[in-house]
Structure 1
């Protein structure tokens, strides 16, 4: 179990460092249409640290286990690692079109391959998988709710803002793409 706790600490540090890197290095440039964000980046940077902090504190202060066995911690850690790694791969696949703020680049196009063939917001989906993993790792129903719900609501707001910007930019092309894909979970939602 001690190895799992060490892995958890390392993955949480990697999560924070990667998100901090994205926030500081992958911003829109002065030539981009960046008036669309509506504070979604700030909301995410409030919601996610809040959810992590309250979920961890709640796991120490309350006893409301999801299951009595330790396997759930391993599943949670797997989700954390998958979320971090796959989100990184998705961000890399978008290249210059990925920004942390809602932005339309001058030569922006709609990506339809890879994960984007099945869902419109895979980067957010895998960020939420990391949050879900945290809640499962903590093995506490309250922690699970606190780890997942605030980021989910923040991403839901961001998706609404982002999709409005895409419809304004791409019109029927984006509406057609939206009709043929799901937001966050392939074939479901």
Structure 2
């Protein structure tokens, strides 16, 4: 029985020691000089005393700790405000950059559209027309020129044929004329000989 009581008492002492050591470590980790605001409030709560009056529990906080906590809170608020101001400035700078990039993008898009339109268009007689219209006009002119060339060749061939026919007719006419002139000359010679013969006969008769 005595041994059991001694063991129980020893266990209680060890448990109490561990709890006290853990609380001491926690108290040492809590401070008003470092750590987040929540841990500083925990430090104030740990270091404050308490009492009851009229059934209400009150916490007694050291004034110096309260001022220190107040300064820390204000410092945190100022740091937060500075960080917020820095973030706002960064956001504003990014918005300016985005606006500039959007403007450049619009200019690039406009230039690209102009280049595409210029690429897809041709100048014809000082007038800007699309490539399709330009091709239609060009092929219309080419086909028209081929048609005119065909008409010219056709008329030239017909004219050449008529010229050859006229030359042939003229050659035939010249042959006929020469033949007629030759026959006329022969007749004239025959008549002249007959006339001369008659004259000679008349002379002999006299």
TM-score normalized with structure 1 length: 0.19
**Structure having the larger proportion of residues in helix:** 2
Bigger Rg, structure 1 or 2:
2
TM-score in terms of structure 2 length: 0.17
